[in-house]
């Protein structure tokens, strides 16, 4: 086909493998926020941001561990571009289930021109095919690529996004549509760091927040502020104080759901009364 119509498609003509829409489950109430049909979808990119000390790395590693436990054979990978083995040993002491995670430590070496570059390592590792990959963090990985390849941050971002897109689409030995959980740094005011292109590229923005940003001991919650696969604005409170696992406050979550349902019904009733009132007076001839 030639001409402008060759770029046009109809969704009814596109064929998907049904397994593409079978989500990964964590077995926690978090699944209800991850997607409207529960769980973490395949071939998507979820950005994770949050206040310092809120537990971004812990939450992500906990998700990987739970997915791996509930779905034996699922290949999950944690890429650490910020912490080394000794740093992560602290996490493993508190959460022994992290012991069995596959981890790739990215260690930048700018002293030797002969050292293997980050992009080569990523390309080799990704080629094996992974189901879920977590990156900690995108900004740090982007900076390493910038320095090693001697390119701009913008070009480093494009190079990294191209690699992620290839894996989303299954260009690997297992034809796995890789899902990425991408931790990203934020500014001092708590805003997302990154270009508009990066912001539009992601499927969902998962924020981990402190109820009182000035108090690291205040209540913590998960909330989505962008979500192509689910709902935004719903809070799920969690606690990292429990040894060996992340505790999600399901009871509070259910109570909040009931309150939202009642508020929605009340709003519908008010609108219904207002509509009947308008119709009543519109029928009166002046």
Rounded CA-CA distance 121/73 in Å is 23
Tokens of 152: 């701009």
CA–CA gap between residue 93 and residue 157 (Å, rounded) = 34
CATH 3.40.50.800 for domain 9-248, yes or no, is no
65, containing H or E segment: helix 56-70
Distance, in Å, from the CA atom of 177 to the CA atom of 2, rounded to the nearest integer, reads 30
- The SS3 assignment for 185 reads coil
67 close to 25: Cβ distance less than 8 angstroms: yes
Question: Residue 236 has what pLDDT?
Answer: 97
pLDDT at 2 over 80: no
pLDDT confidence tier of residue 7, bands split at 50, 70 and 90? confident
Instruction: State the pLDDT at residue 109.
Output: 64
Instruction: Please provide the average confidence, as pLDDT, over all residues in the chain.
Output: 89
Whether the CB-CB separation of 246 and 59 falls below 8 Å is answered with yes
Find residue 36's DSSP bridge partners. Answer: none
Model confidence at 260, pLDDT cuts 50, 70, 90, reads confident
Considering only residues 275 and 236, tell me which one the structure prediction assigns the higher pLDDT.
Answer: 236
Q: Residue with structure tokens 């998960």?
A: 222
Q: Does 47 have pLDDT greater than 60?
A: yes
pLDDT digits (tens, 9 = 90+) for 169-188: 999 999 999 999 999 987 77
Residue 264 tokens read as 């929605």
In the chain, domain spans: 9-248, 250-286
pLDDT at 146: 94
Residues 229/41, Cβ–Cβ less than 8 Å: yes
Band the pLDDT of 244: cuts 50, 70, 90.
confident
| pTM (predicted TM-score) | 0.89
68 in Cβ contact with 100 (< 8 Å): yes
Cβ-proximal residues to 131 (8 Å cutoff; 6+ apart), any chain: 24, 42, 67, 74, 75, 76, 176, 178, 179
Q: What is the pLDDT of residue 268?
A: 61
Q: Of all helices (H) and strands (E), which one includes residue 183?
A: strand 179-183
């Amino acid at each position: 086909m030639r001409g402008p119509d060759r770029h046009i498609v109809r969704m009814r003509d596109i064929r998907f493998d049904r397994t593409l829409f079978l989500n990964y489950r964590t077995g926690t109430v978090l699944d209800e926020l991850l997607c409207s049909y529960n769980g973490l979808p395949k071939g998507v990119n979820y950005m994770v941001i949050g206040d310092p000390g809120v537990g971004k790395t812990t939450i992500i590693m906990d998700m990987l561990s739970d997915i791996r436990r509930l779905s034996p054979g699922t290949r999950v990978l944690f890429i650490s571009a910020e912490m080394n083995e000794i740093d992560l040993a602290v996490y493993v002491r508190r959460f022994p289930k992290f012991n069995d995670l596959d981890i790739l430590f990215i260690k930048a070496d700018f002293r030797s021109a002969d050292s293997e570059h980050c992009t080569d390592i990523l390309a080799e590792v990704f080629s094996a095919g992974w189901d879920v990959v977590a990156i900690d963090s995108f900004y740090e990985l982007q900076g390493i690529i910038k320095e090693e390849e001697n390119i701009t941050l913008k070009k480093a971002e494009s190079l990294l996004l191209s690699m992620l897109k290839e894996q989303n689409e299954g260009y690997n030995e297992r034809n796995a549509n890789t899902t990425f959980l991408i931790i990203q740094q934020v500014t001092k005011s708590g805003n997302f760091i990154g270009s508009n292109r990066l912001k539009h590229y992601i499927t969902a923005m998962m924020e981990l927040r402190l109820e009182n940003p000035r108090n690291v001991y205040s209540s913590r919650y998960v909330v989505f502020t962008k979500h192509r696969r689910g709902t935004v604005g719903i809070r799920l409170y969690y606690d990292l104080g429990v040894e060996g696992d992340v505790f999600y406050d399901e009871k509070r979550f259910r109570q909040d759901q009931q309150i939202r349902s009642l508020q929605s019904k009340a709003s519908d009733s008010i609108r219904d009364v207002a509509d009947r009132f308008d119709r009543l007076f519109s029928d009166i001839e002046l």
